[in-house]
Structures are given as C-alpha cells and as structure tokens.
Amino acid sequence: MANLINEKEMAQMIGMSVHWLRRKRWSGGGIPYVKMSDGGAVRYRREDGEKYVNGRLCRSTSESSVREVSSYA
C-alpha cells in the first residue's frame, strides 16, 4: 500500500498552500492524487510529492524558469 498523506501534509511538504493544491487539481495539473470516495477525501502519495520537488531543482539563477523534469505541471 502506498504511503498516503492528506492535502495539508502535502502542502507543507512541498512548501505550497492547500489552496494551490486544490487549484491545481481543479485545473488538471499538479501532483497526482487519490480520491478516496465520491466528493470525499483526497490523499497524495508521499513519493509523488518528492518527485515533484526533485523535478524543480536548479543549479544556478540563470535557470530563471522552472523546467519540468517530471511529468507534473
């Protein structure tokens, strides 16, 4: 079974707000998520959050725009 965390934990992990996660789910982008039931709780896999963060690593300030290394937008 995947290591699932709630949206508040994911927001803290990636340094963004819960609102940002919700907006990304609504617009069809962001980190993949698991919907536990119809209209119910949303969970994230911890490894997807780590992959998202690792995909945004930069080595210098000349990398002004974030290039997506992973499949997340």
pLDDT at site 64: 59
17-64 residue pLDDT tens = 999 999 999 998 789 999 988 878 999 999 999 999 998 888 888 865
DSSP H helices, 1-73, are: 7-14, 18-27, 46-54
Q: Calculate the alpha carbon distances from 34 to 16, 25, 67 in Å.
A: 19, 11, 25
User: Is residue 68 predicted with pLDDT exceeding 60?
Assistant: no
Q: Which domain holds residue 35?
A: 4-54
Total number of domains constituting the chain:
1
The answer to whether 1 and 42 have CB atoms below 8 angstroms apart is: no
Segment 37-50, tens digit of pLDDT:
887 899 999 999 99
Whether 38 maps to a domain, the answer reads yes
Contacts of 31 (CB under 8 A, 6+ apart): 10, 14, 21, 24, 44, 48, 49, 52, 72
Judge whether 35 lies within some domain: yes
